[in-house]
Amino acid sequence: MIIQQRVELDDQKAAIKELDDLLNTARKVLENAAEAAYISGCEYSAVTANEKLHTTNVLVENAQMASQKMDVQLAQAQKEDITEVMNFEDSNLESDQES
């Protein structure tokens, strides 16, 4: 179960990374378009595009933070699972030694 969750988390991280790369490219294009719009007097469209870009950037950052939080939780679950297995094996070893 933990391995499956790790794979799903890695897939999600890859998707977020791809989205972040796309966002950076869009940011560069929009900066150039905003400059051209401002020069030609279309300031409203430049401001609107910049606001939408900022909103998208916030959403990507939130997804990255959620992914990091899930990674920490998954690592904690994996640690607990390993501890349980070790305790179980220790108790079995003690039982075998008493027999």
| Contact of 9 with 78, CB cutoff 8 Å | no
Tell me the per-residue pLDDT of 44-77, one tens digit each, with 9 for 90 and over: 877 887 888 889 889 989 999 998 999 899 889 8
Which of 1-10, 22-31, 86-95 has the lowest average pLDDT?
A: 86-95
CA angle (39 as vertex; 35, 45 as ends), nearest 5: 65
- Helix (H) or strand (E) holding 63, with range, is helix 43-98
Q: Is 6 exposed, middle or buried (0-12, 13-18, 19+ CB in 10 A)?
A: middle
Predicted TM-score (pTM) of this structure: 0.66
Return the pLDDT at 99.
59
